[in-house]
Chain A
Amino acid sequence: MNFNGTFTQVMNELVQQVLPSLVVVRGHRFGAGAGIVWDANGIILTNNHVVGRRLPIVLLQNDQEYESRLLARDPDVDLALLSIDATHLTPLKPASVSPRVGEMVFAFGHPWGQRNAVTRGIVSALVSAQNRRGDKLPVIRSDAPLAPGNSGGPLVNASGEVIGINAMIVGGDQSISIAASVARDFVSKTLANQKTEGHAGRRHHGPEDVI
């Protein structure tokens, strides 16, 4: 077996599988974060801290720009859900199995504005972080390097499935991602609220939100 050739090919396939679902989210005047196409009909998941006070601009892989609507944001899990008027997008799905310490991970994003960068690492630890409410939030610590611009991008496993949303950089060498299970719950709760209320779930917005 041409091991090197096979390995390179598989890596390339993984990157090609994930990239179409990676977007740029411009939520502040300066700097930008990343986002994940969560649904083919224009649902984009990103970090709460990537979204500022303006309506975020979403830039797809084909360089098309969209103004987005903010469906929901929650600083306690550092997640935000956006909607854009686009269809036939390529969504990423969360992994069906729980992450394991030692498994390989790939972080996708735009560190320091470098578009579509991929960094490699493993799951270093499965820990819980405490948020402002005192709730325990399952997070993944990895040794894949992250930098500003990675926020909101996916952390995927060797099969290209999302296992986390890249969120924070602690102490320079510790990268934190919010577990995909948290993201899944956040998205399904938001979309369920939307259905019952007919539109943008306004009641769930905090006082700091500008809609």
Chain B
Amino acid sequence: MSKNVLVELSDALADAAEKTGKATVLVNARRRKPASGIVYAADLILTADHVIEREEDITVILADGTEIPAQVAGRDAGSDLAVLKLERAARTVAEPTKRPARPGQIALALGRPSPDGIEASLGTVSAIGGPMRTGRGGMLERYIRSDGISYPGFSGGPLVAADGTVLGLNTSGLGRGAAITIPADIAWKIAETLARHGRIRRGYLGVRSQTVEIPNASQKALKREQASGLLVVSVENESPASKGGLIVGDILVAVAHAPILHHDELFARLSGDVAGKSTPIEILRGGQPQSLNVLIGER
């Protein structure tokens, strides 16, 4: 039978599974239940943090069947990501996508939960969501939901586009049971930090707050249209906020020049590069804007 569009699509999917399957490894870091990982750099494996249940005797099995000892280079429960360092380099490195996932797009979930071979399931990208609090003290700006079957041991493996590029890393550790995918750009960025520093620094301010509307008069004083801010309802003793001069009744409206409208945005802003740095914090006090420099702590 001559090649038709269906055969071509089928071949393309099998090619994508084969190509990226070479950069999908088995991660042996918990009892009896191996999981998957992505070859992120020649000697670095990106996987899900929750599948690392021990920090010793970790091994990784490559696509060609070789088993290589590995060490934890960095891990972060908040984003459910971990980076393992291999004692010997792997040959094939995964290629992250340059085109972010779009709803409706075909996507393969790959995993290597057994040494017998690569495993795959087919789905479509159902939705792009976020931001989402991970329930482990982290914040995910964006996530991908897809409708393919997530087989046991698929956590840590890649979600792959039809061209074999990696759309993200699949994990069942964040979505309250359901599997979600951490987009490749976010996962790769966190992996870089984990490989270099071993952990993700998360900023600490030491305030409790609630979202409040900002009256028109104050918005005029701010010289921007910002509908809400965070009313400080308590300041912990000796906390970075207290040392920086924040008091109960202040309305927090911006951190490092980025407007803060909701808790999630404050959370996300503090997860970045501000920990340990003196950071301008804009507040409304008595209806008038003020800027304080606060040395952000670290949790």
Are A and B part of the same complex?
yes
Beta-carbon contact of A158 and B120 below 8 Å: no
Measured CB to CB, the nearest residue on chain A to B152 is A171
Beta-carbon contact of A100 and B6 below 8 Å: no
Asked if B178 is an interface residue, CB under 8 A from chain A, the answer is: no
| Cβ of A130 to closest chain B Cβ, rounded Å | 13
The residue from A3, A104, A124, A157 contacting B119, defined by CB atoms under 8 A apart: A124
Asked if B292 is an interface residue, CB under 8 A from chain A, the answer is: no
By DSSP majority rule, is chain A's interface helix, strand, loop, or mixed?
Answer: mixed
Beta-carbon contact of B1 and A127 below 8 Å: no
| Cβ of B152 to closest chain A Cβ, rounded Å | 9
Which A residues, 104 to 131, have Cβ-Cβ distances below 8 Å to chain B? Answer: 104, 121-128
The answer for the CA separation of A131 and B17 in the assembled complex, in Å, is: 29
Beta-carbon contact of A104 and B9 below 8 Å: yes
Measured CB to CB, the nearest residue on chain B to A145 is B149
Q: Which residues of A contact B5 (CB under 8 A)?
A: 3, 6-7, 10
Asked if A61 is an interface residue, CB under 8 A from chain B, the answer is: no
Given A103-B13, A143-B121, also A11-B151 (CB < 8 A): no
Beta-carbon contact of A102 and B117 below 8 Å: no
Asked if B7 is an interface residue, CB under 8 A from chain A, the answer is: yes
Q: Which residues of A contact B114 (CB under 8 A)?
A: 125, 127
The residue from B4, B17, B149 contacting A102, defined by CB atoms under 8 A apart: B17
Measured CB to CB, the nearest residue on chain B to A17 is B1
Beta-carbon contact of A104 and B17 below 8 Å: no
Q: Which residues of A contact B16 (CB under 8 A)?
A: 102
Beta-carbon contact of B4 and A122 below 8 Å: no
Measured CB to CB, the nearest residue on chain A to B164 is A102
Which B residues, 90 to 132, have Cβ-Cβ distances below 8 Å to chain A? Answer: 108, 114, 116-122
Asked if A160 is an interface residue, CB under 8 A from chain B, the answer is: yes
Asked if B216 is an interface residue, CB under 8 A from chain A, the answer is: no
Asked if B87 is an interface residue, CB under 8 A from chain A, the answer is: no
Asked if A16 is an interface residue, CB under 8 A from chain B, the answer is: no
Beta-carbon contact of B10 and A103 below 8 Å: yes
Asked if B148 is an interface residue, CB under 8 A from chain A, the answer is: yes
The answer for the CA separation of A168 and B153 in the assembled complex, in Å, is: 21
Beta-carbon contact of B122 and A121 below 8 Å: yes
The residue from A10, A100, A126, A128 contacting B4, defined by CB atoms under 8 A apart: A10
The answer for the CA separation of A173 and B154 in the assembled complex, in Å, is: 14
Beta-carbon contact of A173 and B14 below 8 Å: no
Asked if B18 is an interface residue, CB under 8 A from chain A, the answer is: yes
The answer for the CA separation of A100 and B117 in the assembled complex, in Å, is: 11
Beta-carbon contact of A7 and B13 below 8 Å: no
Chain A positions 11 through 29: 1 when the CB is less than 8 Å from some CB of chain B, otherwise 0: 1011000000000000000
Given A102-B18, A104-B13, A160-B1, also A127-B117 (CB < 8 A): yes
Asked if B11 is an interface residue, CB under 8 A from chain A, the answer is: yes
Given A10-B4, A158-B9, A159-B7, also A101-B122 (CB < 8 A): no
The answer for the CA separation of A159 and B7 in the assembled complex, in Å, is: 6
The residue from B6, B17, B120 contacting A7, defined by CB atoms under 8 A apart: B6
The residue from A11, A125, A141 contacting B6, defined by CB atoms under 8 A apart: A11
Beta-carbon contact of B122 and A100 below 8 Å: no
Given A104-B6, A104-B10, A158-B6, also A122-B122 (CB < 8 A): yes
Chain B positions 4 through 42: 1 when the CB is less than 8 Å from some CB of chain A, otherwise 0: 111101110111111001000000000000000000000
Q: List 17 A-B contacts (CB under 8 A).
A: A6-B4, A10-B4, A10-B5, A100-B17, A101-B18, A102-B13, A102-B14, A102-B18, A102-B108, A122-B13, A122-B122, A126-B117, A127-B117, A141-B119, A143-B122, A158-B11, A159-B7
